[in-house]
Structures are given as structure tokens and as C-alpha cells.
């Protein structure tokens, strides 16, 4: 039980609420689009108000998962748009073929409600799980 609690504590990192979009402090520089939260680069995945260093399971997270990004002027995903998010979790094909060539990230897909092409490609060519992807409407 103690090991399980320690593992959960290591997976979680503190998130900070930001005033304006992308007004993130230097210790939590990643903006979590549409949430008002920032996460550290070592834990770029927001679940509820907790930052994670990997995609949490449904048992650990009963909230929407958001991939946070470094951005200087604006979130990569605009309010009212669909946001394609991914976390590669060590999958080299995911890193090599995602839209940004990064281990995790998000892209604004405008009004493409399903991000169908991207989701289909990821399902076909990535190792899911542990890689993860989603298409979410940003409020």
C-alpha cells in the first residue's frame, strides 16, 4: 500500500491557476488550454486540478485530460475549437509522425469535430496504449 501511495504521489505534481491565458509562472510554464491551469514541463498532463507525468487511468482520473503546452502569446487551442492532443509515452512512431514531432502536444483543429484523420492515423500506426490521443472541444 505504501508503494502504491508513493507511486501516486510521484505521478502527481502541483498545478497553479493562472490569471489570464498563458500567464504561467516560470516553475509551471505550460498552459493548459481552456482550463485556467499551468503545469510544470515534467508533468504536462492536467487531470482535474492535478498535473501528471503520464496519462492517468480512468480509476485515477475521472475528469477531462488536457495536454499542456509552452506558448508565449496564446494557447495552441482556441476557445470554441477542437483540440487534438497526444502523449507519446515512449512510442517512437508517435514522436516521428505526430503534427509537431514532439513527445506530447496539442494542435487547434478548428471545427473538425472528430479530428477523424488524425485519430485514425494514430490508432493505426501508434502503440496505443501507452501512447494516447484525444480530440476535445475547448470551452
Cα–Cα distance, 91 to 117 (Å, whole number):
19
The pLDDT mean for the chain works out to 76
C-alpha cell at 52: 501528471
CA atoms lying within 13 Å on the CB side of residue 1: 0
Angle formed at CA 44 by CA 66 and CA 50, multiple of 5 degrees: 70
Give the distance from CA 121 to its chain's centroid.
18
Asked whether the predicted pLDDT for residue 55 surpasses 80, the reply is no
Determine contact, residues 16/42, Cβ cutoff 8 Å: no
Tell me: pLDDT of 17 over 70.
no
Domain spans, the chain: 1-75, 76-139
Note the pLDDT of residue 126: 95
pLDDT at 110 over 50: yes
Q: Does the pTM exceed 0.85?
A: no
Amino acid at each position: 500500500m505504501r508503494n502504491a501511495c508513493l507511486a501516486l504521489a510521484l505521478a502527481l505534481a502541483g498545478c497553479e491557476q493562472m490569471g489570464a491565458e498563458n500567464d504561467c509562472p516560470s516553475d509551471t510554464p505550460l498552459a493548459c488550454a481552456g482550463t485556467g491551469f499551468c503545469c510544470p514541463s515534467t508533468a504536462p498532463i492536467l487531470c482535474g486540478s492535478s498535473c501528471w507525468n503520464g496519462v492517468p487511468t480512468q480509476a485515477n482520473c475521472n475528469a477531462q485530460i488536457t495536454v499542456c503546452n509552452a506558448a508565449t502569446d496564446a494557447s495552441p487551442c482556441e476557445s470554441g475549437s477542437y483540440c487534438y492532443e497526444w502523449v507519446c509515452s515512449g512510442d517512437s512512431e508517435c514522436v516521428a509522425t505526430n503534427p509537431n514531432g514532439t513527445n506530447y502536444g496539442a494542435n487547434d483543429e478548428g471545427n473538425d469535430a472528430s479530428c477523424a484523420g488524425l485519430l485514425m492515423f494514430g490508432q493505426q500506426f501508434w502503440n496505443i496504449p501507452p501512447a494516447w490521443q484525444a480530440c476535445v472541444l475547448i470551452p
